[in-house]
Amino acid sequence: MSDFIVSQNPKVETLYIPVFDDVKAAHQRIKPYIHRTPVLTSSYFNQLTGAELFFKCENFQKAGVFKARGASNAVFGLSDEQAKKGVATHSSGNHGLSLSYAAGRRGIKATVIMPHTAPEAKKEAVRAYGGEVIECEPSTAAREATLEALIEKTGADFVHPYNDHRVIAGQATCSLELVDEVGSLDAVVAPIGGGGMISGTCLTLSNISLGTKIYAAEPKNADDAYRSFHAGHIIEDDSPNTIADGLKVSLRPRTWHFVSKYVDEVLLASEEEIINAMYLTWQRMKIVIEPSCAVPLAVILKNKKLFEGRRVGVIITGGNVDLKKLPWMNP
């Protein structure tokens, strides 16, 4: 049942690729610590798009984001011995928050490496969940050095935000619940950044819903996944500028595996289209969503022909947004 990418280069680690049994195990493992989030529908958006949309609302998830799934799967899968040493990650956003949440539920330590330039509110949010913040210089080198030093010292388990089989298997439980709740779908649209959510979506649907098309929705201003998809290899983009701040990171080998194998197309949306979809969602559905998860609706509105008359799942990934700095406010 297992699936490995075995590198020919002895310096490159062999990647364990999670399989559907891992997803089922993850769902059992994390159930006590996550919400089975509701699936909302909207006659307004159905009329506007001509499709039948099913919004899986992970903005109502613990920590306000789907990443609580993957983080909980990693944390609760640790042996007691390893758990005692804690977990660590680098993240200035939702993954750090989610890992702190999960570690708090298990009663173990989570350390999050964040650039000292990260907003104070984000550091506070991690601390509110019981996580410890270690600040570093705002560079990849500084982040990695700080993390390595910490792991060396404490033996903490590193939980990567998305290039981690436990995390991908955890995120995969989202579409498992979606299909269980609404039945067969013609398509599912999820945002793509590092690829954790879309990989989990691929993992589940390729096992239980083969006929479902999988679309990844990406900001045009951070289109590295689009370019990777069409080039056939990972293209990294170091500093994209988009309001969808959860989608700035690049694919990594484990997520590239799923994206290259199972995604049908990567669809792009401009900043204006993303903000418009976000505003409409707040206004019409009365839910608070992040810019990142307005991207799927934005691409559906832009590509109506693709979705007309179809049953379409839309992953609303999270709702962690600074209410005092909304994109339709004057700065």
**Residues whose CB falls within 8 Å of the CB of residue 317, separated by 6 or more in sequence, listed in order:** 58, 59, 65, 66, 190, 191, 197, 246, 290, 292, 293
Stretch of 59-67, 133-141, 234-242, 302-310 contacting a copy of itself, by CB under 8 A: 59-67
- Supply 309's token pair: 């008359």
- Which of 16, 20, 262, 282 is close enough to bind a copy of itself by CB under 8 A? 282
- Which of 288, 302, 310, 311 is close enough to bind a copy of itself by CB under 8 A? 288
- Nearest distance in Å: CB 301, a copy of itself: 18
* Strand ranges, E, within 10-50: 15-17, 39-40
Instruction: Kindly state whether residue 129 participates in binding a copy of itself, applying the rule CB under 8 A.
Output: no
Cα 307 to Cα 94, 210, 302, 304, distances in angstroms = 30, 17, 10, 5
* Strand ranges, E, within 127-264: 132-136, 157-158, 187-191, 213-219
Count of other CB atoms within 10 angstroms of residue 119 = 13
Nearest CA among 240, 294, 290 for reference residue 67: 290
Task: Return the number of the residue (20 or 282) whose C-beta is nearest a copy of itself.
Answer: 282
Stretch of 77-85, 158-166, 228-236, 279-287 contacting a copy of itself, by CB under 8 A: 279-287
Instruction: Kindly state whether residue 104 participates in binding a copy of itself, applying the rule CB under 8 A.
Output: no
- Nearest distance in Å: CB 182, a copy of itself: 15
Task: Return the number of the residue (2 or 330) whose C-beta is nearest a copy of itself.
Answer: 330
User: What is the torsion angle, in degrees rounded to the nearest 10, for the CA atoms of residue 68, residue 242, residue 49 and residue 207?
Assistant: -40
Using CB under 8 A as the binding rule, the residues of this chain from 177 to 236 that contact a copy of itself are none
**83 φ/ψ angles, rounded to the nearest 5 degrees:** -55, -35
Nearest CA among 229, 173, 226, 181 for reference residue 201: 173
Count the residues in the chain.
331
- Nearest distance in Å: CB 281, a copy of itself: 9
Instruction: Kindly state whether residue 328 participates in binding a copy of itself, applying the rule CB under 8 A.
Output: yes
Distance, in Å, from the CA atom of 43 to the CA atom of 145, rounded to the nearest integer, reads 51
Using CB under 8 A as the binding rule, the residues of this chain from 306 to 325 that contact a copy of itself are 319, 323-324
Nearest CA among 226, 211, 218, 177 for reference residue 310: 211
- Nearest distance in Å: CB 62, a copy of itself: 8
Instruction: Kindly state whether residue 6 participates in binding a copy of itself, applying the rule CB under 8 A.
Output: no
- Which of 23, 30, 59, 244 is close enough to bind a copy of itself by CB under 8 A? 59
Stretch of 3-11, 83-91, 260-268, 286-294 contacting a copy of itself, by CB under 8 A: 286-294
First vs last C-alpha separation in the chain: 53
Residue 113 CA from chain centroid, whole number: 19
Using CB under 8 A as the binding criterion, the count of chain residues that bind a copy of itself stands at 20
Distance, in Å, from the CA atom of 151 to the CA atom of 81, rounded to the nearest integer, reads 15
Task: Return the number of the residue (214 or 285) whose C-beta is nearest a copy of itself.
Answer: 285
Using CB under 8 A as the binding rule, the residues of this chain from 64 to 103 that contact a copy of itself are 64
- Supply 76's token pair: 């609760």
Instruction: Kindly state whether residue 289 participates in binding a copy of itself, applying the rule CB under 8 A.
Output: yes
Q: For a copy of itself, what does the binding mask look like between residues 17 and 56, x meaning CB under 8 A?
A: ---------------------x-x----------------
Q: Which residues would be at the binding site for a copy of itself (CB under 8 A)? A: 38, 40, 59-60, 64, 279, 282-283, 285-289, 319, 323-324, 326, 328-330
